[in-house]
């Protein structure tokens, strides 16, 4: 088999591979820029917490629909994710707990509750689909949802770009000048939640955040400029989707984990080769 046929045949021969490729490309395009802003705002672990927080809502949607319904589980996941975000913000403002501690408490509760609901009313196969996703089973309605979420994310980020960056760099100045930082913060959390819901459909609740955070970390090793960082993060996620699907097809491996592990391999290579990677740290250590 030639290299060209190895790259082309899986997508030319099978519709499910073409749909999985479009899904992974769409996820990378939308989740990458959001992941960059999460990292710059030092909210990486909150993103991980949010990915688990959507599980009980998706599980309730699963029960109400009587199975793996994209619409019901998506609506339930968005409602649960936003609910956890609001509760964590309220607790952090009314108590001495930091926001990340509030998120950690709520997401552990949400994860346990979601697994309990699905395992109590569904089969082990249903639970595996919820936890690890079914990217090779993506249908046209799921692709439309992912495309809509990606489009909305890019449009909203372009609208709130300046205040979001200002709040990230200097939140004190934002408050002093009368900026509505809290509103922009909630809009941004909404974008995080809907992108996690889109990833949830393909990669499951345990790995959906990987498509958001690992490409963003990779891009940050190569550039310090925000816009190129977002573009590179999206490109990394899209490339990982393509390579991961090819690896899973030719070596008969699970597609979702293959994609996330490909993201991790690109991150490790960037650690070794990028200007801001391990070489830069060693150089700083030697000069000091």
Q: Would you say residue 126 lies in a domain?
A: yes
Greater model confidence, 175 or 224: 224
Tokens in use for 202?
Answer: 């393909």
Question: Which of these ranges, 36-40, 164-168, 169-173, has the smallest mean pLDDT?
Answer: 169-173
Q: Residue 94 sits in which domain range?
A: 3-274
Q: Would you say residue 285 lies in a domain?
A: no
Q: Would you say residue 287 lies in a domain?
A: no
CA of 70: how far to CAs of 55, 66, 142, 151, 256, in Å? Answer: 13, 11, 7, 18, 18
Tokens in use for 169?
Answer: 């760099």
Distance CA 202, CA 146 (A): 10
Q: Would you say residue 288 lies in a domain?
A: no
Report the run of H or E that residue 97 belongs to, with start and end. Answer: none
Tokens in use for 192?
Answer: 């995080």
Q: Would you say residue 185 lies in a domain?
A: yes
Distance CA 281, CA 100 (A): 28
Q: Is the pTM of this model over 0.75?
A: yes
Q: Would you say residue 280 lies in a domain?
A: no
Q: For 183-212, how does the pLDDT look when each residue is reduced to its tens digit (9 = 90+)?
A: 887 888 889 989 988 888 788 877 888 999
CATH number, position 196: 1.10.3470.10
Q: Would you say residue 191 lies in a domain?
A: yes
Distance CA 112, CA 88 (A): 17
Q: How big is the CA angle at 259 (ends 43 and 124), to the nearest 5 degrees?
A: 90
Tokens in use for 130?
Answer: 């919820």
Q: Would you say residue 284 lies in a domain?
A: no
| Measured torsion, CA atoms of residues 179, 180, 186, 187, in degrees rounded to the nearest 10 | -70
Q: For 109-162, how does the pLDDT look when each residue is reduced to its tens digit (9 = 90+)?
A: 887 888 888 777 766 666 677 777 788 888 888 899 899 999 999 999 999 888
DSSP-H helix ranges across 225-254: 226-251
Distance CA 255, CA 248 (A): 5
Specify the number of domains making up the chain: 1
């Amino acid at each position: 088999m030639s290299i060209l046929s190895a790259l082309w045949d899986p997508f030319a021969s099978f519709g499910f591979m073409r749909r999985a490729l479009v899904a992974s490309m769409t996820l990378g395009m939308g989740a990458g820029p959001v992941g960059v802003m999460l990292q710059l705002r030092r909210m990486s672990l909150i993103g991980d917490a949010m990915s688990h927080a959507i599980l009980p809502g998706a599980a309730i949607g699963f029960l109400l629909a009587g199975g793996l319904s994209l619409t019901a589980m998506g609506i339930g996941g968005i409602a649960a994710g936003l609910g956890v975000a609001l509760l964590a913000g309220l607790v952090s403002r009314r108590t001495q707990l930091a926001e990340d501690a509030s998120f950690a408490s709520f997401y552990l509760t949400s994860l346990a509750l979601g697994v309990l609901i699905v395992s109590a009313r569904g089969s082990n196969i249903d639970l595996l689909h919820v936890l690890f996703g079914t990217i090779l089973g993506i249908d046209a309605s799921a692709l439309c949802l992912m495309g809509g979420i990606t489009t909305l994310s890019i449009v909203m980020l372009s609208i709130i770009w300046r205040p979001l960056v200002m709040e990230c760099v200097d939140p004190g100045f934002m408050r002093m000048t009368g900026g509505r930082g809290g509103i922009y913060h909630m809009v941004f959390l909404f974008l995080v939640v809907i992108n996690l819901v889109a990833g949830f459909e393909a990669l499951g609740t345990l790995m959906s955040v990987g498509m958001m955070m690992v490409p963003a970390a990779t891009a940050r090793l190569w550039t310090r400029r925000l816009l190129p960082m977002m573009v590179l993060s999206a490109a990394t996620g899209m490339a990982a989707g393509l390579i991961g699907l090819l690896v899973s097809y030719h070596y008969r491996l699970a597609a979702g984990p293959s994609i996330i592990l490909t993201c991790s391999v690109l991150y490790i290579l960037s650690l070794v080769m990028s200007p801001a990677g391990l070489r830069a740290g060693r150089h700083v250590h030697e000069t000091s």
